[in-house]
Amino acid sequence: MGGSFPAGGFGAGNRGDGMWQMMEQLRGAFEKRAGSRMGRGDVRTAVLTLLAEQPMHGYQIIREVEERSGGSWKPSAGSVYPTLQLLSDEGLIAAEESNGRKIYALTDAGRAEAAGAPASAPWDASAAGDNSGFTALPKAGIELAQAAAQVGRTGTPEQVQQAVTVLDEARRRLYSILAQD
């Protein structure tokens, strides 16, 4: 990952802030490597699948994918909007201005393309955990790290020590999973 410690280290005054920054760096690294990213074809399939149901604007598409994937996949605007432009250039969707937003809808060619798409939507595999835990495990780790950072930022010294004990036990139990036959 190659991250570095925050300037000033983890002294008493900035212990929690530094830990929080480290957790955010870790979260970003996990998201880039595993879990929140899908392939370009998946974004295209997701857009076509959703627009086959009803016209939407880009933000609706992003929200709907996130909701249908149970929060495990939220495509970025930087992947959705270029995909919308590409589909428009291909004549598969058309945009109409409504209340200052572009609403996208399938054209006849787009409906034919959507009908030939895979039977399962890309978020189905993500939500079902078909990635052999590749999505669920990093997400759980991120959430654990965020909770630890919160205790580090706001907890008393006694609470911090309790959290260290819990994390040490969790680490041991995770390794014991690997040690099983």
pLDDT tens digits, one per residue of 32-73: 544 444 544 588 889 999 999 999 999 999 999 988 888 878
Query: What are the pLDDT digits (tens) for 125-142?
Result: 544 444 444 466 777 787
**Whole-number Å distance between alpha carbons of 170 and 175:** 9
Tokens of 132: 């052999």
Percent of the chain having pLDDT more than 70? 68
**Considering Cα of 59, then 61, then 32, then 27, what sign does the dihedral take?**
positive
Average pLDDT, the chain: 77
**Whole-number Å distance between alpha carbons of 166 and 171:** 9
